[in-house]
Amino acid sequence: MRLSVESAYGVFAVEQIARRGAEKPLTAGELAELSGIPARGLATILDKLIRAQVLKHATGMPPSLTLARPAQKISLLQIVEAIEGPTTSDLKLPEDFGSQPSPPCDPSLAPSTPPASTGQSHAPGRTAPPPVREIQSIAAGVLATQTIADLLAAEDRSDARSSMAT
């Protein structure tokens, strides 16, 4: 599973459209302005979300977008998969996976010599080892249970707490 900036933009776009509701659909231009996403990149993301039936074109002028189904029926995983492609247990490893030791968080903790090779390596394009597949499965499960409606409700609760604190 890949989570890219495009996925984050897709979640943002769907959240903004859901917040406005069907009675006030957003145009792609308004979304680009709200998000700061270049219009051309946003158009690609929106096209993928329309093809996946997460969004649909609203009737009327100017051309605008609405949710294709209720916010509580659109999971974050559906948005990610619309943009990144389907998640599978066949996560492929990057070309350089295992070729270099991971840098430590604190440079002062780095060993003076690189660790000896364990002799185990994962060839590029091979399926990831079980722990990586397990992490992917957990992440997909979390995204599948969270909907746009959940995201809106969490933001509303956060806004309410912020207004009570001031």
pLDDT one-digit tens code per residue, 104-137: 444 444 444 443 434 444 444 556 677 877 888 8
- Give the pLDDT confidence score for residue 21 in this predicted structure: 86
Host H or E run for residue 83: helix 76-84
Which secondary structure element, helix H or strand E, spans residue 162, and what is its range?
A: helix 148-165
The CATH number assigned to the domain with range 5-87+124-165 reads 1.10.10.10
Which range (73-87, 99-113, 139-153) has the least confidence? 99-113
Cβ burial of 22 (10 Å; 0-12, 13-18, 19+) is exposed
What is the rounded CA–CA span in Å between residue 18 and residue 13? Answer: 9
Q: What average pLDDT does range 29-51 have in this prediction?
A: 92
Please count the residues of the chain: 166
Q: Supply the pTM of this predicted model.
A: 0.71
Position 109 scores a pLDDT of 43
